Amino acid sequence: MRRMLLEGLFRRPVTEGAPTIADAEIEALAERLGVAAKARLGRSLSIREVDAGSCNGCELEIHALNNSYYDVERFGLRFVASPRHADVLMVTGPVTANMREGLERTYAATPAPKWVVAIGDCAAGCGVFGKSYAVVGAVSNVIPVDLVIPGCPPEPIDMLKGLVGLIEASARG
Amino acid sequence: MSTLRTALLNAALTVEEQKPWPRITVDADTWRQATLAVAAGNATLSGLWAEPGAVHMALLDDDDGSLMVLTLLASDGRFPSVGLTHPPAQRLERKIVDLYGLIPEGMPDDRRWLDHDRWGVRAPLGSSAPASADGATYPFLKAEGPPLHQIAVGPVHAGIIEPGHFRFSANGEIVVRLEERLGYVHKGIEGLLINTTLEAAAKVVARVSGDSTVAYSLAFARAAEAALGVAVPQRAVWLRALMAELERLANHLGDIGAICNDAAFALMLAHCGMLREEVLRATKIAFGHRLMMDCIVPGGIATDLHDAAPILALTMHIRQRFPRLVELYDNTASLQNRTVSTGRLLPELARRFGAGGPVGRASGRAFDARKAPGYPPYGDLDFKMIKREDGDVDARIWVRIDEVYESLELIEQIVDRLPAGPIAYPLAPALRERKVPQAGGLANEPRDSASEGLAMVEGFRGDILVWLRTDETGHVLRGTVRDPSVFHWPLLEAAIEGNIVADFPLCNKSFNCSYSGHDL
């Protein structure tokens, strides 16, 4: 272990530079959020992930945000265990009938101001599962959605751009 | 099982057109005898599914990997329960009740399973009668004794994971009983596979469990190709195996890190997480998608590999870095203290439930679908089946560690011997020229136009079973999938018993069952 730690001191970090996001995108997002949250949140957001029916593909890529390449915490983004600690809900999956109440209760348990980010094509529009008796709809059919990050699954870098944009926007808002 | 197979074939009323293994229709007596044979361990139950008016049971011979499907017509809506004598069938039967409304006579557990009273419809794939959607309370099993308390967890969990409910009955720190309640991510996948195009069905099956998308697409493609009698070019066969091993590699690396992280050893997670990310980046370069979703299609593959250099660079890099992590795991006593002897799954239980993948192989069940039944190109490749006997968290980690090396070996062999040529044959002309089989289908479908295919593929969790019925144009009439987690979930309940509550995350992660693959 000592050798690995020592190596860690001398090797260059694998963590990559911050993604670039167009100013206009941030302005648009800030306008859309329209909440004066800066005073309360500063430049940090706590995120609670909710799987409302996903195939687990999106979860894998959300996990990847925590690895050393993306290192999401350096941007002030932190995944938390309880909706009570969260500013942002990241929701994946087409909302299944069996998860609808779970999602609604998680949303209700999150203190305001709060934002909902729908992650992936299923969360955005049910993906390939739209025609099923067991699916109630996209996330926006159940709770208000502030930001959609499409993809099947979206790549970590796309999610990072979206979330960093959200921070910037909330700081300006 | 060979004597059982002969007996069953002799008792068959009709033999249906299913490839490559037979599907026979039997009477209720033969169905019961088969059930008893499975309970006695003469064969492994590999799947149990239904359609309106019929139930199907897939039997697996552990030794040679051959499969056989038994069909019982349930014209009165009832069939003799398999779960009555063979507990691994119970949740599958509860699913059949919920989705099709067929009643397993004598079934010991009549609580609803996937149906949480939320769909607004009862038996959606059967009679489809309107029902309330208010949600029902679920009667959990009791554990008795004065000092017991209950801990309820989920469906929304603390981490970035899929939803499900766990109900612990604990005596102080000791878990007396764990009961799972699943079905939260039920998306109605079997319903989506009724009367649809091959392309649409392939997309749905690729999303049964996103972490195993390659294995599912491969199983679906193999079942479809068997049903339709179409061939796949050699280059596609080999590249499919390359994708499957890259997927296994990425998932095993992720699992090894995540299990250690649940014993508060974050260093392993950090390092394994980097290796996993590097695998995904290499697959993105090689095949255009990090998880290789929809890269395997019936008839071949969707994207060719133009340059194998990034993949070889990846295996070299992992060969350099990974042994040090293994050494670290092996030499850290505080970590071993958490994993050794924790969450022991008895070999007898693993055998009875037909536990596949690292969970089964860590408990002495020597089964790997790549070896038996086997499918190309694995017969031409040199690799070992990893097996351990201890059945604890430590054994499940070691099986994964050793399988990482085997996958590296396989990837290098495949890249080295990759045949040239086309990556897919167009399906349409093959289907036009194909001879229409003489038998197949059930009840209300025309008997001379349907054909069926069955495929078993080894995903990173274990053997995945896909069954498919198509008409002569390749249109999907009906299909089902069975995830290895179906048999792992009940075993997790058994493995945690007598362990402390704090070790549950560790045990759970070492099984790493799929919620979505189970709930379908």
Kindly state whether B222 is in contact with chain A, defined as any CB-CB distance less than 8 angstroms. Answer: no
Kindly tell me if the per-residue pLDDT of B444 is higher than 60.
no
Which H helix or E strand runs over A55? none
CB atoms within 10 A of CB B435: 7
Q: In A, which residues are within 8 Å of B461 by CB distance?
A: none
B 317-336: CB under 8 A from A: 324, 328, 331-332
pLDDT for the residue B189: 96
Give mean pLDDT, residues B163-179: 94
**By CA distance, what is A107's nearest residue in B?**
B156
Which H helix or E strand runs over B234? helix B234-261
Give mean pLDDT, residues B129-156: 88
pLDDT digits (tens, 9 = 90+) for A123-170: 999 999 999 999 999 999 999 999 999 999 999 999 998 888 888 777
Residue where the block lists tokens 């970090």: A13
Instruction: Give the residue extent of every domain in chain B.
Output: 2-127, 209-480
Distance of CA B467 to the CA centre of its chain: 12
Kindly tell me if the per-residue pLDDT of B439 is higher than 60.
no
Listed in sequence order, the residues at least 6 apart from B504 whose beta carbon sits closer than 8 Å to its beta carbon are: B166, B168, B175, B178, B496
Residue B180 Cα distances to A144, B87, B91, B115, B289, angstroms: 31, 15, 11, 15, 34
Contact B92, B353 (CB under 8 A): no
User: Would the CB atoms of A57 and B291 count as touching at under 8 Å?
Assistant: yes
Kindly tell me if the per-residue pLDDT of B268 is higher than 60.
yes
User: Would the CB atoms of B160 and A132 count as touching at under 8 Å?
Assistant: no
> At B44, phi and psi to the nearest 5?
-105, 135
Give mean pLDDT, residues B112-139: 92
Among the partner residues A52, A60, A128, nearest to B211 by beta-carbon distance:
A60
Give mean pLDDT, residues B370-381: 94
pLDDT for the residue B518: 97
pLDDT for the residue B445: 40
CA distance A117 to chain B (A): 15
User: Would the CB atoms of A132 and B192 count as touching at under 8 Å?
Assistant: yes
Kindly tell me if the per-residue pLDDT of B450 is higher than 60.
yes
Q: In B, which residues are within 8 Å of A6 by CB distance?
A: none
Give mean pLDDT, residues B65-80: 93
- Say how far apart CA A15 and CA B86 lie, in whole Å: 52
Kindly tell me if the per-residue pLDDT of B443 is higher than 70.
no
pLDDT for the residue B436: 42
Kindly state whether B155 is in contact with chain A, defined as any CB-CB distance less than 8 angstroms. Answer: yes
Among B185, B208, B275, B290, which would you mutate to test the A interface (most chain A Cβ atoms within 10 Å of its Cβ)?
B185
The answer to whether the predicted template modeling score (pTM) of the entire model surpasses 0.90 is yes
pLDDT for the residue A76: 85
pLDDT digits (tens, 9 = 90+) for A62-112: 999 999 999 988 888 899 999 999 999 999 999 999 999 999 999 999 998
Kindly state whether B158 is in contact with chain A, defined as any CB-CB distance less than 8 angstroms. Answer: yes
**By CA distance, what is B211's nearest residue in A?**
A57
Give mean pLDDT, residues B114-125: 95
pLDDT for the residue A46: 92
**By CA distance, what is A104's nearest residue in B?**
B156
Q: b vs e for A97-131, b when ≥16 Cβ sit within 10 Å of the residue's Cβ?
A: bbbbebbeebbeebeeebbbbbbbbbbbbbbbbee
- Statement: B209-480 belongs to CATH 3.20.20.80: no
Provide the mean pLDDT of chain B: 92
Bin A12: left if φ > 0, else alpha if -120 < ψ < 50, else beta: beta
Query: How many contacts (CB atoms, under 8 Å) link A and B?
Result: 147
Kindly tell me if the per-residue pLDDT of B514 is higher than 90.
yes
Kindly state whether B261 is in contact with chain A, defined as any CB-CB distance less than 8 angstroms. Answer: no
pLDDT for the residue B113: 95
Kindly tell me if the per-residue pLDDT of B435 is higher than 60.
no
* Token code pair at residue A11: 């090797």
Give mean pLDDT, residues B142-158: 87
User: Would the CB atoms of A67 and B276 count as touching at under 8 Å?
Assistant: yes
pLDDT for the residue B442: 40
User: Would the CB atoms of B274 and A129 count as touching at under 8 Å?
Assistant: no
User: Would the CB atoms of A99 and B184 count as touching at under 8 Å?
Assistant: yes
- Say how far apart CA B289 and CA B259 lie, in whole Å: 26
pLDDT for the residue A173: 55
User: Would the CB atoms of A67 and B277 count as touching at under 8 Å?
Assistant: yes
CA distance B289 to chain A (A): 9
pLDDT digits (tens, 9 = 90+) for A22-67: 777 777 776 666 554 555 566 788 999 999 999 999 999 999 999 9
User: Would the CB atoms of B209 and A56 count as touching at under 8 Å?
Assistant: yes
Q: In B, which residues are within 8 Å of A66 by CB distance?
A: 273
Kindly state whether B139 is in contact with chain A, defined as any CB-CB distance less than 8 angstroms. Answer: no
Tell me the pLDDT band of B441, cut-offs 50, 70 and 90. Answer: very low
How many Cα atoms occupy the beta-carbon half-sphere of B327 within 13 Å? 10
User: Would the CB atoms of B210 and A56 count as touching at under 8 Å?
Assistant: yes
pLDDT for the residue A35: 54
**By CA distance, what is A53's nearest residue in B?**
B185
Among the partner residues B162, B270, B290, nearest to A51 by beta-carbon distance:
B162
- Say how far apart CA B117 and CA B123 lie, in whole Å: 11
User: Would the CB atoms of B274 and A127 count as touching at under 8 Å?
Assistant: no
Kindly state whether B218 is in contact with chain A, defined as any CB-CB distance less than 8 angstroms. Answer: no
User: Would the CB atoms of B254 and A60 count as touching at under 8 Å?
Assistant: yes
Among the partner residues A54, A59, A152, nearest to B293 by beta-carbon distance:
A152
Q: In A, which residues are within 8 Å of B271 by CB distance?
A: 4
Kindly state whether B124 is in contact with chain A, defined as any CB-CB distance less than 8 angstroms. Answer: yes
**By CA distance, what is B517's nearest residue in A?**
A55
Q: What is the ipTM of this complex?
A: 0.91
Decide the pairing of beta strands B129-130 and B121-122. Answer: antiparallel
**By CA distance, what is B201's nearest residue in A?**
A128
Decide the pairing of beta strands B67-73 and B23-26. Answer: parallel
Higher confidence at residue B487 or residue B474? B487
Kindly state whether B443 is in contact with chain A, defined as any CB-CB distance less than 8 angstroms. Answer: no
Closest by Cα among A78, A22, A11, A41 to A173: A41
Give mean pLDDT, residues B432-451: 50
Kindly tell me if the per-residue pLDDT of B123 is higher than 90.
yes
Kindly tell me if the per-residue pLDDT of B371 is higher than 90.
yes
**CATH C-level class of B2-127:** alpha beta
Kindly state whether B420 is in contact with chain A, defined as any CB-CB distance less than 8 angstroms. Answer: no
Kindly state whether B200 is in contact with chain A, defined as any CB-CB distance less than 8 angstroms. Answer: yes
CA distance B135 to chain A (A): 8
Higher confidence at residue B432 or residue B173? B173
Q: In A, which residues are within 8 Å of B124 by CB distance?
A: 133-134
